[in-house]
Amino acid sequence: MKELNELILPDDVRFTEDHEWARREGETVRVGISDYAQDQLGDIVFVELPEAGSTFGKGDEFGTVESVKTVSELYMPVGGEVVTVNEELVDHPEYVNTDPYGKGWMIEVKPDDLSEMDALLDRDAYLRQLEG
């Protein structure tokens, strides 16, 4: 397990209290799980994601990640329509461990209300939550 000061927590993403991250990419929001979450889960062996075209509200469960330790639910940081799914995770779920903010992204969402991003935690607030 990483120490808090070893975690990768980019400044350009927002976080949920459930450890998902969201990054604005023009008109869409890219979503994944944080470095903290993947570190706590251990080796990711399977990722179950929705199909493109699926719609979810903020906070809705949109999939699961399975590690050698457990299965964890994934929750939407913003409501909207899933426009892209990272199909590479089918064959390479380990990307979630090795590059959670890059190759390990999970879905891209066209948000219903982009202002929902404002309610997410910035890097410092997320780090305070982890310390708490």
DSSP state of 51: P
Please provide the CATH number assigned to the domain covering 12-131.
2.40.50.100
Q: What is the pLDDT of residues 102-118, one digit of tens each?
A: 999 999 999 999 999 99
CA atoms within 13 A on the CB side of 90: 7
- State how far the alpha carbon of 117 is from the alpha carbons of 18, 50, 65, 78, 88, in Å: 15, 21, 23, 7, 26
Please state the pTM of the whole predicted model.
Answer: 0.96
- Please report, for the chain, the start and end positions of each structural domain, with discontinuous segments joined by +: 12-131
Tokens representing 105 are 């992204």
Amino acid (one-letter) located at 9: L
Q: What is the pLDDT of residues 59-91, one digit of tens each?
A: 999 999 999 989 999 999 999 999 999 999 999
In the numeric block, the tokens 């990768």 are attached to 8
Read off φ and ψ for residue 54, nearest 5 degrees: -70, 145
Q: What is the pLDDT of residues 94-106, one digit of tens each?
A: 999 999 999 999 9
